[in-house]
């Protein structure tokens, strides 16, 4: 993922540098306020935990998975001899214990099957404890220009970064923009890559680009989340990791209204993102989180609406073109 980001950033960047964890940072511009745009590269996955004598493999999950999302899924183990395909086994419906009906199978009872018959065969394939495990899903275009794939959280934020970079490379703006594609956000309340990247960038202002949480499918109460797919970019107003800067929120609202871009708002108690780490840099940084709505994040098959992505890019370009020393100083002042 980092290799792909560097390849696409390089034509539009004045320089590219890295933190010590593996995040990549691209800079555009050498004067004006230091604006940090952040999106994390990592996705939910797992790590090989133990290889059983019969060749089945237990997995330690990385990130916030629902147990319901794990059985009967395809994965790839990134072993020392190359990728090894795997599937999480599920009991056959004809012999499944009666107590599992209507209940999710606990993750501790799930095992990866790579076709091996013994632990020696697993080792011969180059698979060992500690090896990463990634979900496997095909990208597909659905009706109404909606896309299904894995890891929209937060590959869609990375895509927004690349498109904003491309557009601003041919358009003036009064800032130094630092585009940070970070690591170790999922499963980490520390948002580690955002922390280390913010220390290198030392931003005046930070915006995390993330997935929003639509609540437009049957079965969940209206207070759980407020976004809808196709409703335009969102902005998170409350998460466990941040309370966004109110002046920055107002600035985003004003620019969205001027550009006639619909803007959604959300409050999700179980949501945290890199803005929570950026805001604590130095003496404190004004931050907010701009969102591309994505259904069914933290699964193998999430869904986005292409129009939400395009409008988010439009909003970010307009924000960066309108931000200048005076507006950033006003946002930072108390």
Q: How far, rounded to the nearest angstrom, does the alpha carbon of residue 49 sit from its chain's CA centroid?
A: 24
Judge residue 215's burial from the number of C-beta atoms within 10 Å of its C-beta, 0-12 exposed, 13-18 middle, 19 or more buried: buried
Q: Residues near 326 by Cβ (< 8 Å), separated by ≥ 6?
A: none
Burial 102-131 (b: 16+ CB within 10 A, else e): eeebebeebbbebebeebeebeebebeeeb
185 counts as catalytic = yes
Task: Label the pairing between strands 57-62 and 45-51.
Answer: antiparallel
Give the Cβ contact number of residue 143 at 10 Å: 5
Helix axes 246-258, 306-322, angle to 10 degrees: 110
How many angstroms separate the CA atoms of 130 and 296, rounded? Answer: 27
- Active-site residue identified among 185, 186, 210, 227: 185
Contact 85, 79 (CB under 8 A): no
For 159, phi then psi, to 5°, come to -65, -40
How many angstroms separate the CA atoms of 136 and 326, rounded? Answer: 47
Q: Tell me the catalytic residues.
A: 185
């Amino acid at each position: 993922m980092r290799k792909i980001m560097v390849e696409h950033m390089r034509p539009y960047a004045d320089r590219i540098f890295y933190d010590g964890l593996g995040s990549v940072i691209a800079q555009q511009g050498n004067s004006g306020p230091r604006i940090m745009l952040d999106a994390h590269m990592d996705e939910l996955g797992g790590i090989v935990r133990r290889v059983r004598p019969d060749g089945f493999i237990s997995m330690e999950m990385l990130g916030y998975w629902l147990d319901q999302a794990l059985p009967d899924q395809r994965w790839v183990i990134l072993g020392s001899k190359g990728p090894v395909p795997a599937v999480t086994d599920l009991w056959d419906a004809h012999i499944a214990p009666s107590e599992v009906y209507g209940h999710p199978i606990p993750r501790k009872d799930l095992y990866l099957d790579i076709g091996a018959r013994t632990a020696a065969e697993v080792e011969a394939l180059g698979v060992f404890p500690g090896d990463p495990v990634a979900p496997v899903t095909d990208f597909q275009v659905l009706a109404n220009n909606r896309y299904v794939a894995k890891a929209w959280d937060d590959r869609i934020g990375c895509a927004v970064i690349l498109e904003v970079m491309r557009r601003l490379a041919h358009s003036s703006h009064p800032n130094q923009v630092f585009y940070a594609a970070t690591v170790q956000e999922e499963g980490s309340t520390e948002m580690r890559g955002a922390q280390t990247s913010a220390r290198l960038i030392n931003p005046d202002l930070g915006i995390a680009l993330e997935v929003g949480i639509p609540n437009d499918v049957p079965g969940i109460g209206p207070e759980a989340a407020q976004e809808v797919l196709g409703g335009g970019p969102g902005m998170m107003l409350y998460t466990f990791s941040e309370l966004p800067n109110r002046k920055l929120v107002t600035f985003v609202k004003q620019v969205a209204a001027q550009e006639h871009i619909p803007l959604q708002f959300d409050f999700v108690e179980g949501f945290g993102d890199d803005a929570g780490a950026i805001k604590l840099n130095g003496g404190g940084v004004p931050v907010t989180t701009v969102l591309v709505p994505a259904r069914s994040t933290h699964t193998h098959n999430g869904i986005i609406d292409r129009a939400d992505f395009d409008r988010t890019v439009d909003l970010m370009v307009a924000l960066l073109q309108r931000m200048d020393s005076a507006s950033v100083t006003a946002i930072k002042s108390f």
